[in-house]
Amino acid sequence: MTDIASPSFVRHDLVNERPAPVKTTGFIGWVRTRLFNSPTNILLTILGALLLWFTIVPSVRFLMVDAVWSGNDRTACLAENAGFAVGACWPYIQAKLPQLIYGFYPEAERWRVNLTFVLAAVLLVPMLVPRLPAKGLNAGLFFFAFPVVAFFLLHGGGIKGFGLSWTAGLLELFDDSIIGAGNVLLNLSKTSAVAPLLWVIGNLIVLVGTAIHWLVFPLIWLRDQIQGSGQSVWVDFAVTTAVVCLIAFFLGGGLRTGWRALASSFATFVAIAIVIKLMGLDHGGLPIVLTNLWGGLLVTLVVSVTGIVTSLPIGIALALGRRSTIPLIRIFSIAFIEFWRGVPLITVLFFATYMLPLFLPGNFTVDGLVRALIGIALFTGAYQAENVRGGLAAIPRGQGEAAAALGLSWWKTTSLIVLPQALRHVIPNLVNSFISLFKDTSLVSIVALFDLLGSLRASFSDPKWSTPSTAFTGFAFAGIIYFIFCFGMSRYSLFVEHRLNAHRRN
């Protein structure tokens, strides 16, 4: 031993390594130090164990031990036939599964839904695995090509024209509404007190409208020629391809560097042509299945995926708008965000479904599902805007200054420096909103859309499966489905967060 009182000390024998005492390591050590190390902790451990006992055990009993696994109708799930107090009635789920997944989607056409699910999975999974290559192409396919393909797969129907016809149609509609507005003013001027003013403005607007009419006339004439020809889709397609490829060529740098842009845009159009041909869009496409027949998990996924994918860009745009120095953009963003955040989602859905048609021009209708989609996207977008704004606020001013000092423009600074950092800060909040959006999709059932939960509740009324445990089984099943999706999102977001925040670990 050393004399610890002595001021000088030199060690001669080194101390050998010894194993730690048993009671501090391994399972016993863990139990002692984490579960039973103080009276309060002992009490909490016992309470926790009791809580598990009283929740897990009955759930397992209900879902598995006391469950009925096979049968053809309600009789199998009645206690007097089974011989014991019946828990979950799984044959009911089995019988109703098609309805829970597809709703009233016609049985002969359900392969289209399955194909859409498969396509989505094939495109989504590689995108979520960071190691796989070609993320840009993958994302382009998933975010731009897939929605269009999915629409024609799920909804059906074909196309009568292509880019040129659509552009012409849009311009015509725009022009007609301008002339229409002018004419309304002219009519008003006959009775109003400020008649001369209205007359002048009305005439001016009509004049502008007529001018635009003459400007777009060649395009409309071309459209009519194309529509008159037998192969309207393909002629229009060829014209659109030529125009877009040429634009890409010149924007890409013309003869010097434009060849790449030309090649990629041409390849895109070839791909589009193949899809059109494969799906027969040029002659009617697949039989139309109206959205009021859609239901079940299909509607839940369509609504939530569309909502998730569209709400983030809306949120980013609004958040940037809210921080803009241009007053008009800022005021618009603030008003938009506050309006949608201040209104309950149910109100939004009701408004979108029952009130919106009253405001739209007479011959202009929007599908019920699309109306709900728009409502949900804008609603969630407003929430995402505030999430993103939180992230933007966390970025020090110096970051923007350093980027500006290097000569980066506002757009490049925002997209390369500010947004990547801001979004990383708020991944938990963003995913929080996604998860709550996923569950809020069940609210669409109040506007006559049958999502997973709606289809489930509809199936309760079937007398063939009316047993005491039907409702419990159904809700347990729906709960498990919702949980799988939400838990999946949650875990994936943790993974992404961990990966993208590599720079914050030392």
Partner 1 sequence: MSDPIVKISGLNKWYGEFHVLRDIDLEVKKGERIVICGPSGSGKSTLIRCINALEEFQEGEIVVDGIELGPNLKHIDAVRREVGMVFQSFNLFPHLTVLDNCTLAPIWVRNIPKKDAEETAMKFLERVKIPHQANKFPGQMSGGQQQRVAIARALTMNPKVMLFDEPTSALDPEMVKEVLDTMVDLAEEGMTMLVVTHEMGFAREVANRVVFMDAGQIIEANTPNEFFASPQHARTKLFLSQILR
Q: Which residues bind partner 1 (CB under 8 A)?
A: 396, 398-399, 401-409, 412, 416-417, 420-421, 424, 500, 502-504, 506
Position 398: which residue type?
A: G
> C-beta of 416: minimal distance to partner 1 in Å?
7
Per DSSP, the three-state class of 290 is: coil
Q: Is the separation of the CB atoms in 439 and 479 below 8 Å?
A: no
Residue 270 or 402: the one with the smaller Cβ distance to partner 1 is 402
> C-beta of 53: minimal distance to partner 1 in Å?
46
The CA distance from 198 to 196, in Å, is 5
The CA distance from 276 to 291, in Å, is 22
3-state secondary structure 144-178: HHHHHHHHHHHCCECCCCCHHHHHHHHHHHHHHHH
Residue appearing with tokens 């599964």: 97
Residue 4 or 405: the one with the smaller Cβ distance to partner 1 is 405
> C-beta of 394: minimal distance to partner 1 in Å?
12
Please, which residues have CB within 8 angstroms of residue 336's CB and are 6 or more apart in sequence?
318, 382
Residue 115 or 500: the one with the smaller Cβ distance to partner 1 is 500
- List residues bridging with 178 in a β-sheet: none
Residue 82 or 500: the one with the smaller Cβ distance to partner 1 is 500
Residue 413 or 442: the one with the smaller Cβ distance to partner 1 is 413
The CA distance from 230 to 216, in Å, is 24
> C-beta of 250: minimal distance to partner 1 in Å?
17
Output the DSSP codes for 486-503.
HHHHHHHHHHHHHHHTGG
Residue 316 or 337: the one with the smaller Cβ distance to partner 1 is 316
Strands (E), 278-368: 295
Residue 23 or 260: the one with the smaller Cβ distance to partner 1 is 260
> C-beta of 420: minimal distance to partner 1 in Å?
6
Residue 110 or 424: the one with the smaller Cβ distance to partner 1 is 424
Position 145: which residue type?
A: A
The CA distance from 263 to 254, in Å, is 12
- List residues bridging with 294 in a β-sheet: 103
Encoding tokens for residue 223? 């459209």
> C-beta of 388: minimal distance to partner 1 in Å?
16
> C-beta of 417: minimal distance to partner 1 in Å?
6
The CA distance from 300 to 120, in Å, is 14
> C-beta of 412: minimal distance to partner 1 in Å?
5
Residue 10 or 255: the one with the smaller Cβ distance to partner 1 is 255
> C-beta of 129: minimal distance to partner 1 in Å?
21
Q: What b/e string do you get for 8-33 counting C-beta neighbours within 10 Å, with b at 16 or more?
A: eeeeeeeeeeeeeeeeeeeeeeeeee
